[in-house]
Chains A and B, each alone.
Chain A
């Protein structure tokens, strides 16, 4: 089994949020065995900016569920969704 990269879209709960601080909170919320490999940002609309961390998880350990759950609980996160998955 190889590894899987999942590009995850994280929407903040307001346009005013400190994105750097949010990014740090996401990093520290990662479950064991997963790692963030770069975070992209995309300006969406009306001041809202989405964060797109690419998270590497092993192929064969239950998908991205734990990462999604942990990210959802992070302060300042409105929603979490997986945009794309692919083997690396």
Chain B
């Protein structure tokens, strides 16, 4: 067992073998409870499929979890020599993308599963972009189902090339990506180097997981606390509530709320109904600031230090990927942007660049329109004040989902903020 903890996203197209890989990882690292293994072994033998018990693990765990009284989403855990991993198994449907952007920050690193017999598929692209938007540092790419393509090196190389192009398109540094030919079903190159791929001498999956960099909690960054709700509590006064994304809040700090543009000194901080002297990233807190009234601040404000206040965007430039749109997106389009606790209508003022999917280069400067599947750089003007940060400075507050017609139509990350 190790002390270091990592949240690991398993991403990829539906049917490319994500669940099987999760099952295999749990199985190979001895992370499935003994009684569950026993149960599966018995069932497998009854069905004459001895030796394949791991294949049942995921199915039955899913059933058990659904039957159970509570479901802990961060439930699947396994340990390697270096890390304790918690698996974030991403939903396939794109409407969950908004949740993944505005929810509690999730994955540190990710394993992208691409089936060797299918190559890059629509959700492969979406998930890769999502990984980048969510600030995932390193990507391990498992070219899965190698058994289905008879462990052919040529097929592996073709898929590697295809994925490399995709990474370039969303400007994911390929130096931060490693490729491994695997079969989650057969267990090739997961815990042991496989005899079936003598042409491959790189890291196997568990080695690659061990070699991931240690995640660093964003305590060094400036305080950013998006306000979820504002209450009036008798005897206390105005109490904003929210989760700290970055930095540290101390009693006595001089803070400011943007875009409402008011501030004061932090008098008290409470967490779990107890007064605390300071709070850190991930903490859900309520606090009280001298001189702030209930109507002075609102949901969507971001609280930060007075000497390094949250940015308020007059306009901002962002990289977006269009996931689904019935027609085309042109300048002037004004959908709703979801960023941290804020929901603000924003106009796409100009479409600055469109990326070429095959090369990752700029395909067109100032294109007339973009559509589903396109990656582009756009300039955005919020219709109401919006606090947002460049993703390169504070990634936790630098991503957004774009929604319209009841759907998540695009996701993006902020490149540059032109402040008011």
Contacts and interface: CB of A to CB of B under 8 A. Distances in A.
B62 A88 contact: yes
B69 A64 contact: no
Interface of A: 1-7, 11, 14-15, 37-38, 40, 42-48, 50, 54, 56, 59-65, 78-79, 81-88
Nearest to A58: B93
A48 B96 contact: no
B112 to A, nearest CB: 16
B285 interface: yes
Given A59-B92, A87-B89, A44 B103 contact: no
Residue of A46, A64, A86 with most partner-chain B CB within 10 A: A86
A65 B228 contact: no
Nearest to B104: A83
19 contacts: A2-B62, A3-B62, A3-B66, A4-B93, A5-B73, A7-B73, A11-B228, A14-B231, A38-B70, A45-B270, A46-B288, A56-B66, A59-B96, A63-B95, A64-B95, A79-B229, A81-B103, A84-B103, A86-B88
Contacts of A37: 66, 68-71
Interface string B87-99: 0111111011011
B336 interface: no
Contacts of A56: 66, 71
B1 interface: no
B102 interface: yes
A50 to B, nearest CB: 7
Nearest to A2: B62
Interface string B153-181: 00000000000000000000000000000
Given A78-B229, A81-B228, 9 more contacts: A2-B19, A15-B233, A44-B270, A47-B233, A62-B95, A86-B73, A86-B89, A87-B90, A88-B62
B284 interface: yes
A29 B92 CA distance: 26
Residue of B14, B89, B271, B287 with most partner-chain A CB within 10 A: B89
Residue of A2, A45, A46, A85 with most partner-chain B CB within 10 A: A45
A81 B227 CA distance: 12
Given A45-B271, A47-B273, A86-B73, A4 B239 contact: no
B273 A44 contact: yes
B339 to A, nearest CB: 13
B341 interface: yes
Given A62-B95, A79-B228, A79-B299, A42 B66 contact: no
Q: Is the interface of A mostly helix, strand, loop or mixed?
A: strand
B71 A46 contact: no
A41 to B, nearest CB: 11
A37 B225 CA distance: 30
Contacts of A1: 14, 92-93
Nearest to A63: B95
A25 to B, nearest CB: 18
Contact of B103 (A4, A14, A40, A82): A82
Given A48-B231, A48-B241, A63 B273 contact: no
A65 B286 CA distance: 26
A5 B71 contact: yes
Contact of A85 (B66, B99, B271): B99
A88 B66 contact: yes
Contacts of A3: 62, 66
Contact of A82 (B71, B99, B271, B407): B99
B145 to A, nearest CB: 19
Nearest to B275: A45
4 smallest beta-carbon distances between A and B, as pairs: A45-B286, A63-B95, A38-B70, A45-B270
A39 to B, nearest CB: 8
Nearest to B94: A63
A86 B299 CA distance: 26
Given A85-B91, A88-B65, A11 B408 contact: no
Given A11-B241, A45-B239, A48-B241, A63 B270 contact: no
Given A85-B103, A88-B65, A54 B93 contact: no
A84 B73 contact: yes
Nearest to B234: A15
B272 interface: yes
B273 A45 contact: yes
Interface string B278-299: 0000001111100000000001
A73 B92 CA distance: 28
Contacts of B66: 3, 37, 56, 88
B233 A42 contact: no
